[in-house]
Structure 1
Amino acid sequence: MTDTRGSLAVETLLKLVLVLVAILLIIEVMQAIVGTIVGLLQPLLMLAILGLIVLWLLDQL
């Protein structure tokens, strides 16, 4: 039986690590963008929910 551990080239491992780091950076940027959008829309969403509750209480829905 042949031992195949360590048969991966250093360049291949480096490329794999770089791809994983790039994916993590993309996820961080997307999280920041989505967080900003949600942060801007949160007051509008809360006003919409408040309006729906008031309309429901006044039997307008």
Structure 2
Amino acid sequence: MIDTRGALAVETLLKLVLVLVALLLVIEVVQAIVGTLIGILQPLLMLAVLVLIGLWLLDRL
């Protein structure tokens, strides 16, 4: 039986690490953009919920 543990080349491992780091950076950027959008839209969403609850209580909905 041939032992193939550790058969990955160093360049392959470096490429894999580079891809994972790039993926983490993309996730961080997307998270920052989504967080900003939610931060901007949060008061509007809260106002919409307040209006919907008010209309429901007044039987207008």
TM-score class, shorter-chain normalisation, is over 0.9
Flag structure 1 segments of 5+ consecutive residues without an equivalent: none
Match of 2:48 in 1: 48
How many matched pairs?
A: 61
By how many angstroms is 1:6 displaced? 1.2
Q: Distance in 1 between matches of 2:60 and 2:7?
A: 71
More relative contact order in 1 or in 2 (CA 8 Å, sep 6+)? Answer: 2
Q: Give ranges in structure 2 of 5+ residues lacking alignment.
A: none
Report the 3-state secondary structure (helix = DSSP H, G, I; strand = E; otherwise coil) of the residue aligned with 1:43. Answer: helix
Of all paired residues, the percent bearing the same amino acid is: 80
TM normalised by structure 2 equals 0.97
The 4+ residue runs of structure 1 with deviation greater than 4 A are none
